[in-house]
């Protein structure tokens, strides 16, 4: 009985968080669009932000010596919660995409790179982000991943064919024909490539190869579908976002056996070329993007206009999007400098 009540409490919290995130995104979207228009007038804004000494550790540690020269051509970054854009009332705001726009240069054939992330829950209680690898078209001899990203994309497509799935935006549609996939080819090349590579020197652009755990949309929907009469909206219908909650069983399992996700089973990220993909995605979406002005001010060590008195500007105080005030000059002194590249 206690576990059932705890599960119900968790479901209500989750439903509230989802609705709050959805509403916040819709209301803030035009503000971010105006910010993007103004940022484009500042040369080198996004390269300065991403290479700031103050970015989250997941970002800082992922930028290798080969990356800054490519990042210097980055002119825009956007985070969009694409399901909310398509369905403002019921779209899941936990699914998002990150769009990177580059100027012309000697490295990329592609001017725009887009990577989508879907929130998934598995039957064993795990919850997190999954994605599909994105192939990048590089100019001759310009690939900082040294072909590793292409191999990862090939292996992913090979796995989809082998499982009879067609990879279309995590739709996980069943193929109408049987596959003769025998577990060799791109998969073997990926295993060999990972064995030969140094995980600590893989380019940030390997981020586009991140997949995450193999949790299909069907499995996630099943894990989220535990329903009860109390999860109804004002019309008596079960609210769609309340269908996406943890079950009583998963609450009980986590309490009684909190280490079950750390078993000695096969590592689900063993074949990831960028294991920190979820951490980097969350850092970009939840921190770097909304706080870009603060990171730019800290990195450039120059005054950026913020609402407030002239004394605030002169003292270096910078107000972030949550209204918190920090002194950028003192923080620069207190934070250790990033490693030299």
**Which of 36-50, 171-185, 270-284, 286-300 has the lowest average pLDDT?**
171-185
Q: Give Cα 224 distance to the centre of its chain.
A: 21
Handedness of CA 252, 256, 262, 265 (dihedral sign): negative
Model confidence at 273: pLDDT above 90? yes
Give CA separation, 166 vs 115, 223, 296, in Å.
18, 22, 41
Handedness of CA 325, 329, 332, 333 (dihedral sign): negative
Whether the Cβ atoms of residue 111 and residue 102 lie closer than 8 Å to each other: yes
CB atoms under 10 Å from CB of 337, counted, come to: 7
Give dist(CA 322, CA 286) in Å, integer: 12
Give CA separation, 332 vs 46, 52, 278, 297, 314, in Å.
19, 10, 28, 10, 16
Percent over 70 (pLDDT), the chain:
70
3-state class (DSSP) for residue 76: strand
Q: Confidence class of residue 62 from pLDDT cuts 50, 70 and 90?
A: very high
Higher pLDDT, 66 or 170: 66
pLDDT of residue 234: 43
Phi and psi, residue 102, nearest 5°: -115, 150
3-state class (DSSP) for residue 264: coil
Whether the Cβ atoms of residue 260 and residue 124 lie closer than 8 Å to each other: yes
* DSSP notation for 161-199: HHTTEE-STT--EEPSS-----S-SHHHHHHHHHHHS-G
In the predicted model, what is the mean pLDDT of residues 300-308? 54
pLDDT of residue 184: 54
Nearest-10 crossing angle of helices 186-196, 148-162? 140
pLDDT of residue 6: 85
Whether the Cβ atoms of residue 202 and residue 152 lie closer than 8 Å to each other: no
CB burial readout 184-212, b (16+ within 10 A) else e: eebbebbeebbeeeeeeebbbbbbbbbbb
Mean pLDDT computed over every residue of the chain: 79
* DSSP notation for 82-145: HHHHH-TTT--TT-EEEEEEE-S-SSBS-SEEEEEEEEEE-TTS-EEEEE------BPTT--TT
DSSP-derived secondary structure letter, 340: P
**Which of 44-53, 91-100, 137-146, 180-189 has the lowest average pLDDT?**
180-189
Give dist(CA 327, CA 323) in Å, integer: 13
């Amino acid at each position: 009985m206690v576990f059932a009540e705890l599960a119900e409490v968790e479901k209500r919290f989750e439903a509230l968080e989802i609705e709050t995130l959805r509403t916040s995104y819709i209301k803030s979207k035009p503000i971010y669009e105006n910010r993007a228009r103004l940022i484009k007038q500042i040369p080198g804004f996004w390269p300065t932000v991403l290479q700031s000494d103050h970015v989250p550790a997941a970002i800082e540690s992922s930028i290798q010596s080969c990356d800054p020269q490519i990042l210097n051509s980055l002119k825009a970054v956007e985070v969009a919660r694409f399901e909310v854009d398509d369905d403002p009332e019921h779209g899941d705001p936990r699914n998002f995409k990150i769009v990177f726009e580059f100027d012309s240069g000697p490295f990329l054939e592609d001017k725009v790179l887009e990577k989508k992330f879907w929130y998934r829950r598995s039957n064993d209680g795990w919850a997190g982000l999954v994605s599909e690898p994105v192939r990048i078209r590089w100019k001759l001899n310009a690939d900082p991943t040294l072909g590793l990203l292409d191999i990862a994309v090939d292996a992913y497509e090979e796995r989809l064919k082998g499982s009879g799935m067609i990879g279309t935006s995590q739709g996980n549609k069943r193929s109408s024909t049987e596959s003769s996939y025998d577990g060799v080819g791109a998969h073997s090349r990926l295993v060999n490539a990972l064995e030969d590579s140094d995980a600590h020197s893989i380019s940030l652009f390997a981020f586009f190869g991140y997949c995450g755990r193999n949790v299909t949309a069907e499995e996630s929907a099943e894990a989220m579908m535990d329903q009860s009469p109390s999860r109804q909206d004002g019309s008596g219908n079960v609210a769609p976002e309340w269908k996406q909650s943890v079950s009583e069983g998963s609450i009980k399992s986590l309490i009684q056996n909190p280490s079950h996700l750390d078993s000695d089973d096969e590592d689900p990220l063993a074949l990831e070329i960028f294991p920190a993909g979820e951490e980097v995605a969350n850092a970009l979406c939840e921190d770097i993007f909304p706080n870009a002005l603060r990171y730019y001010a800290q990195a450039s060590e120059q005054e950026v206009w913020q609402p407030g008195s002239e004394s605030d500007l002169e003292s270096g105080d910078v107000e972030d999007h949550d209204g918190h005030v920090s002194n950028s000059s003192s923080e620069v002194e207190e934070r250790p400098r990033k490693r030299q590249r």
